[in-house]
Amino acid sequence: MILAKSATEMTRTMRNNSNDKKISNAQPDLSVELAGLRLDNPVIPASGTFGYGREFADLYDLDILGSISFKGTTVEKRYGNPLPRIADCTAGMLNSVGLQNPGLDAVCSEELAEMAKIFHKPLIANISGFAEEEYVRLAEAMDREPQVGIIEVNISCPNVHNGGMAFGTDPENAAAITRAVKKATSKSVFTKLSPNVTDITEIARACEDAGADGLSLINTILGMRIDIKSRKPVLANKVGGFSGPAIFPVAVRMVWQVAHAVDIPLIGMGGISSAEDVIEMMMAGASAVQIGAANLRDPFACKKIIEDLPRVMDRLGIEKLKDIVGIV
C-alpha cells in the first residue's frame, strides 16, 4: 500500500512538474491594441526613418513588425531642405530633411502598391500639411486606401516653414487640424505631438477633445550644432530635429504626463533602441512604440528588439505586454 501510494504521489508530482514546464515555456503575449486595431507586437518603425520599407525588406521579413508608419506624405512632391541636413551628435543626431516625399498622388498610386507586396498588415499613414485644407485632402485620400489602418497627423515637424510645428504648439490650432481630419475619414486618427511646448498635456487634451482616437509622441526636439572652424551652423537650415537615445528620458516623461491627462491610447517614441526601452515606455503609458533613429544606425534594430522582447518579458515576469501599459 505504501509503495502504491508513493507511486501515485510520484505520478501526480510528475504531472505537476510537467504542467509547470508548460507554463514556463509558454510564449509571452506581445500583442497590443490601438483604437481597435490589433497588432502582433508594439514595434513600429517611425515615419521618416524607414521610407516605404523596400530597403529593409531585402534584409528581413517585414511582417514581423507590428505596423509601419511610412514616410510622411504631403499633397505636393517635396525635395526637402537644402544640404547638409544631417548632423551627428553625442548620443543622437540632428536632421532637417524637411518632409522629402514624392507627393500624395505618387504615394497612393505607386508606393502603397509596392508596399502591399512586402508588408501584409495595416499601415500607419503619416500626413503633413501647410493648411487645414491640405490635411483634409490627405486624410480623404488615405481613407480610400485599404492598407491604411491609422492616420497619423503630423502637426509637430520642426523642419518645415509655414506649417508643421506651427500647428502643434498651439492648442486651438492642434484641435482644429485634428477635428478637420476626423471629419474627413472613418479611420482612427492619431495626432503626433511636438515636445517643443511648455505644457504638452494642454495640447494632448485639446486633441482628445477634438476627437483624436490616439496620440503619437514625441517628435524630435529642436536643436542646433555649430562648426567652430567655419563659425557657421552645421545644418543648412540652421536648426533641426534632435533624436536618438539622448532624448529618451524626455520622451518617457512626456508620455507619462500625457497618459495621466487623457483617456486615449498613446504611441510612444523618442530614443527607443532596446527591448528594455520598449517596456519602460509602455510602463509610462504607451500602448505601442515607434523606433526612429535606431533604424538609421542599425537596419536590423526593429527585428532585434522584437526578437529580444520575449526574453526580457520572461526575466521581468511579464506574461502579456498589454498588462504593463501605464502601470506607473
Euclidean distance between CA atoms 288 and 149, whole angstroms: 14
**Residue 207 is a catalytic residue:** no
Q: Report the run of H or E that residue 319 belongs to, with start and end.
A: none
Euclidean distance between CA atoms 38 and 90, whole angstroms: 36
**Residue 93 · residue 223 · CB < 8 Å:** no
Q: Checking DSSP bridges between strand 214-217 and strand 188-192, what pairing results, if any?
A: parallel
Instruction: Single out the residue of 107, 44, 48 nearest to residue 80, CA to CA.
Output: 48
- Which residue is catalytic, options 108, 157, 207, 302? 157
Exposure string of 4-43, with b = 16+ CB inside 10 Å and e = fewer, is eeeeeeeeeeeeeeeeeeeeeeeebbbebebbebebbbbb
3-state secondary structure of 269: strand
Instruction: Single out the residue of 91, 186, 99, 199 nearest to residue 148, CA to CA.
Output: 186
What residues are labeled active site?
157
